[in-house]
Amino acid sequence: MATTATILQGVTISGAIQPEHKKILTPEALAFLTLLHRSFNGTRKALLERRKIRQAELDKGILPDFLPETKHIRENPTWKGAPPAPGLVDRRVEITGPTDRKMVVNALNSDVWTYMADFEDSSAPTWDNMINGQVNLYDAVRRQLQFKQGQKEYKIRTNRVLPTLIVRPRGWHLEEKHVIVDGDPISGSLFDFGLYFFHNAFESVKQGFGPYFYLPKMESHLEARLWNDAFNLAQDYIGMSRGTIRGTVLIETILAAFEMDEIIYELRDHSSGLNCGRWDYIFSVIKKFRQNSSFVLPDRSAVTMTVPFMDAYVKLLIQTCHKRGVHAMGGMAAQIPIKDDKAANDKAMEGVRADKLREVRAGHDGTWVAHPALAAIASDIFNKHMPTPNQLFVRREDVKIGANDLLNMNVPGQVTEEGIRKNLNIGLGYMEAWIRGVGCVPINYLMEDAATAEVSRSQLWQWVRHSVTTAEGKKVDKSYALKLLKEQTDALAKNAPKGNKFGLAAQYFAGQVTGEDYADFLTTLLYNEITAVGSASPASKL
């Protein structure tokens, strides 16, 4: 068997390594990451190329449909996903957020059932954010998480069972450029997953849960198969029983919606269900069909969960999950309490209640909140309408969803100048924060992250591309979009602290809202702005 030093030949790290990082970036952990990279990076790259081929077909007007070659999987009623794992039987309210130390403490102290610690959409992947996040989760799993900030001391409660910890690594398209293996950056997915798993798999089982993950941004069952292969290798490598890992897949791309059965099937021994990633799903619909004028959507506020294509997606997801015995998780409540306006706050919270009531009545087994104050609202609704730990018994056999339902873009509403300005503000506000290393930002009492920023810039691109006319009678063209962009940038920069990054954010955004160039993801577009690649050090010298 190869030694650690032998495995680490050809591996370099260019991120700064602080003393507290050394318990994470051990030679043994890096050797494990290297094994994951060498085993799976070729397949990962091939699957990303497959995405490009699929996009070219969509650009030609070839619409997606359920796969004929996997019909036997969809129509076989006998196979099931894994039964719910310890700590994942009851998931009625899940809180989500980044992995900074304060957030981890507050999330684990919240009155929720699980906490999704996020290395993805709500985190800007600076080297320090990613490694410090791993340090924080290492301490959290061991119930050793505490720190002081000024006069205030933060520590996780020890007088009750804590929410089950679930980790969301980055998607397959993202890389970690601070770690180079054989000349290539390591996959961000494998980096985030591998470090957390290597250090915490056995300890998490000892604490009564397990190595659990949320898997983002997949576009096909073949991408789920790659995760399953990585899970099997990881468990075998450390001597852990296969099936101990569990993965909940976010269905947040339109193409994955046509392969939900197949995605559960690929992960079945490791599956803990599917989640409605609503904002990324809307983003995906616009992105994938951006050349097709039949898919132009109105203002973001009009694209609710009850419009036809979103309603169909929810119903099919719940039906599919429960048929296979796994959880069907609801979407995010992104609202933040409005402390200085009771009437506005009451209206916003009533919207949260209505959304959660819709979810529990539809058959969801749980839901997401972004703020601890919303946990009580979501809990009240789910406790009242779901007295059991889940509702896997709600079969939804009444549901009959076909390809046309998933692609039904009959969405009432108009494009307005107010909607354009809101999208510009959200895109600029998020991108400016991201460049500063902050991955989620409150805007107009909503917690905005990469998903909502993507919806904003994709709608702007789409409206210019297809020469939409606003409700006010104005044609949305390149010059109009850039004029409004400048106005919103100037207004935001004027009220922001000195040293803000709105000017830089606007430079990037200007290239994304004119109906011409279209970056695959904002995060990949901006990533080089937050990499701090220094001199490379051989991993074997750590």
The residues assigned a catalytic role are: 168, 449
Assign 328 to helix, strand or coil: strand
How many Å apart are CA 87 and CA 191, to the nearest integer?
Answer: 25
Interior angle at CA 246, CA 240 and CA 249, nearest 5: 150
Q: Evaluate whether 112 touches 369 at the Cβ level (below 8 Å).
A: yes
How many Å apart are CA 319 and CA 399, to the nearest integer?
Answer: 7
Q: What are phi and psi of 416, to 5 degrees?
A: -125, 160
Nearest by Cα to 383 from 348, 357, 345: 357
How many Å apart are CA 253 and CA 261, to the nearest integer?
Answer: 15
Dihedral sign from CA coordinates of 457, 220, 117, 22:
negative
Token look-up 């450029």 returns: 177
How many Å apart are CA 310 and CA 296, to the nearest integer?
Answer: 15
Q: What is the largest CA-CA distance in the chain?
A: 71
Within a 13 Å sphere around the CA of 382, how many CA atoms are in the beta-carbon half?
Answer: 30
Tokens read off for 535: 């001199």
- Residue 281: partners with Cβ closer than 8 Å, 6 or more residues away: 251, 252, 253, 254, 257, 310, 313
- Residue 251: partners with Cβ closer than 8 Å, 6 or more residues away: 257, 260, 263, 274, 275, 276, 277, 281, 313, 317
Dihedral sign from CA coordinates of 356, 357, 358, 361:
positive
Q: To 10 degrees, what angle do helices 450-465 and 522-530 make?
A: 120
